[in-house]
Structure 1
Amino acid sequence: MSIDPPAHSPSRGPLSRLAEALRSDTVGGFLLIGAALVAIVWINSPLGGVYEDLRAVTLGPESLHLNLSLETWAADALLAVFFFVVGNELKQEFVNGELRDPRRAMLPIIAAVCGMVVPAAIYAAVNFSSPETLQGWGIPMATDIAFAVAILAVIGRHLPPALRTFLLTLAIVDDLGAIVVIAVFYTSGIDLLMLAAALVGLVLFGYLQRGRGLAARLNASRLPNWAVYVPLAVVIWVLMHESGVHATIAGVAMGLLMRTAKLPGEAHDPSHGVEQVLRPWSAGLALPIFAFFSAGVVIDGLGAVVRDPASLGIILGLVVGKTVGIAGGSWLTTKVTRAELNPSLKWIDIVGMSQLAGIGFTVSLLISELSFADSPGHLAHAKTGVLAASLIATALAAVVLGTRSRHYRRLAADRVGPEGGGS
């Protein structure tokens, strides 16, 4: 799979300059946050019904069970593009970057597990005497990778790149864990035949890039590579969607299968080439639309929310549980195993990132709907609890990571100053 990245030329047109801007996490982060704020304000305004009607509009072929609402298309299809970009980026890190050292790769993976177990335990403790809400224990387990990465880009522009890699790895493992929890505890059944077919498609996707001589012959043919891989990717996504497993997993899997080494005659490896093409679409279109349709949460009475053990457990789980689980689990892991923290990071950086991981949102809202489908009151409070916890986590992380970002900016300025003649 080889897609030529745009040429870097001083005479680039406005579309090329826009694409280059959208490759920045900061620009994409502002777009995503802006779209989410529009959704929250709109749904809580007198015109909230119009917003609800808009995201309930359905389209797609009914014969393929794809007559889905706009909200579902955004969460399952557009977000899969983002997950592909993230999975592809992680593949580059595992092969050539920060995570190629198993001692460092181990840390965010274990941290993710701890960051799921501790919030669930806190929720269960708060709701232990409330059987009607206990089934919501899975709600605070999830980290919303799209929002977390966007917030990190906006508030932490001078933080070490290793922190973003840590967050990406943690959030991917967290999302995979959340999908397993949904499949095992919150889904009536998985279509194993469709899942097996999706896995066959993924094997084919990887083989087409790595098969002995096959990838080279494909590159040498007159057939554009996208004409092979795009239809195959769509088929894999449809099969994964039909299996009952969250379809974004198809995006992660294909991203992790991307080839990061060049073949003879290739100007660049397919992993970096496709990233150049897809990242602007992901940041400029997929994520803002996803945020717009997923962030529309009606803010229920805060007094009732605090008194409901379900929403209280969610808030404590996401705000306290994520921080204790991720930061505490990471620190403990370095003490009892060979895992190590990247030397460019300090533990206070991990604490701030752990607070940021308390942004639950999309998957947390999904598990809320599955947990309280027959209890509208608890469902409304749970959704408000997810929103409140995400806002609190963002505010706390902004204080810590914003301070650390300014610290790293001063360090960089001090290093540049003497080298630049003391300016």
Structure 2
Amino acid sequence: MKLEKSGKGPLVREIRITPIAIVDPPLLNAAGLHAPYALRTIVELETEDGIVGISEIPGNEAIDEALREASNIIIGKDVYQLGKIQRELEAWFGKDSSQDRGDAPWDQRKLVHIFSALEVACLDIIGKITNRPVVDLLGGKMRDAVPFAAYLFFKYEGAGGKLGFSKDPAANGWAAARQEKAIDPEGIVAQARAMCQAYGFQSIKLKGGAFEPEVEVASMQALYQAFGEGVPLRFDPNAIWKPETALKYGKIMEPILEYLEDPVRGQDHMAWLRKMIQTPLATNMCTTSFDEIPASIDLGSEDIILSDHHFWGGLRASMELSRVCTTFGRQLSMHSNSHLGISLAAMVHLGAALPDLPYALDTHYPWQSEEVITGGALEFQEGAVPVPSGPGLGVELDRSALATLHQQYLDCGLKKRNDEIEMQKVHPEWTFKKIRW
């Protein structure tokens, strides 16, 4: 396609879409079991002047195909014209609705994925052009480093990847600890100690929904006994509890929780529970889009919204969400999914720009053993990640690693995430239930 100069900004000449697979341990959740590989998609936008911006989103075959369709819109566009790009994407694909999110704990809406990928890559380009970090494009740095929480999982033994349920005997430190089984309070406490020692995390989250409430609540109590009042604790059963179950165990955990995340399904049930317990309620399942906020405010369904720029329409939309939360007495933190350093860098820039950051953010990063950026994994300092100092996102693609992880995608055969199928390989009779206990 021949491009004409607009005189207004750099035009996109090419988009490159590379699906990758990264090794993922056998982590348990309400929807089943993580596959041996997690899927991500790396997006590169290159301008006519040869400047490349990058982004990373949760991957699946449908999203990748939609990104290829989006090349009809993004090629030839001025990277500064993000509003126009978003409007044209909405006209092409149709706006997402809350009904599109589905029942699984993760989010599979199409438009928010596509636009967030393009927006982050465009902001990376703009930062490189202006020689400013992305945090400055979002309003400027409010903090030099962004705190994260240790994100614990019930899990089966194993490393994931080709090793599956086997362990790498050469691993040591956290690399060895993350391969260990954790299906009871003792295993969870051991996992927490190892992760906090390796990364310096100052707060802890446990993903629940995998076992009976008695086991999971006992694990939270064991964490409280092991770490004391000085380490904030949060718990997330992924909306798999009945309201009466959530009330019973929510009351038991009131003395030890910083917040309780998605104990029940839906805004109505969350609002009912919110009136019954003192613990703040957080969500990344019942209020997941701007069109759900009016009902959230009317009902009082949560205290904390866990944003995710991949699912809320990008970094700038997340800044808008922060203002909405402030206006209506909500607090804002961040949700996470299995990710690499490009997504983490974007989260850090956003976290550094947010006016208020009352809670450490979620991250799966310690569970990943591979990287796609040059220089290896981003460093945590006392549980926090310093804002990358370079222009744009401040991270660059390692093209050799990208090629390796793309080949891993081709070899593993996975096209989308399905934790139910993975669980059935271990427990053939197991089926996903939206509400189990």
TM-score, normalisation: structure 2: 0.23
TM-score, normalisation: structure 1: 0.23
Point out which structure has higher relative CO (alpha carbons under 8 A, 6+ apart): 1
Task: Give the number of the structure whose residues are more often strand, by fraction.
Answer: 2
